[in-house]
Amino acid sequence: MENATCDCSNCKYRELVLTNLKDEEINSLCDFKKEKFYKKGEIIVKEGDPVVDFFYLKSGLVKNYFYNQIGKEQIISIGTPMNFVSLLTVFSEPYHKFRVSALTDSVICCIRMDKIKSIALNNGQFAVGLIEKMSKNTDEIILQKLMLSMKNMRGRIAYILLFFAEKINHSYSYEIPLRRKEIAQLIDLTPENVIRTLSEFSKENIIKLEGEKITLKDIKKLKKICELG
Q: Are residues 135 and 56 in the same domain?
A: yes
Question: Same domain, yes or no, for 136 and 155?
Answer: no
The answer to the question of residue 145 being in a domain is no
85 and 16 co-located in one domain? yes
Q: Examine the pLDDT at 31 and tell me if it is beyond 80.
A: no
- Rounded to two decimals, what is the model's pTM? 0.78
CB 69 within 8 A of CB 12: no
Identify whether 171 is part of a domain: yes
pLDDT tens-place string over residues 132-171: 888 888 888 888 888 888 999 999 999 999 999 998 889 9
What's the pLDDT band for 87 if we cut at 50, 70, 90? low
| CA angle centred on 159, ends 155 and 164, rounded to 5° | 150
In a domain, 146, yes or no: no
Predicted local distance difference test score (pLDDT) of residue 11: 60
Burial of residue 3, with CB atoms counted within 10 A of its CB: 0-12 exposed, 13-18 middle, 19 or more buried: exposed
Side chain identity at residue 108, one-letter code = I
Are 55 and 100 found together in one domain?
yes
Asked if residue 85 and residue 35 are part of one domain, the reply reads yes
Q: 26 with 76, same domain?
A: yes
Residues 95 and 75 in one domain: yes
39 and 97 share a domain?
A: yes
pLDDT, one tens digit per residue, over 188-202 is 899 999 999 999 999
Residue 154: its pLDDT value, please? 96
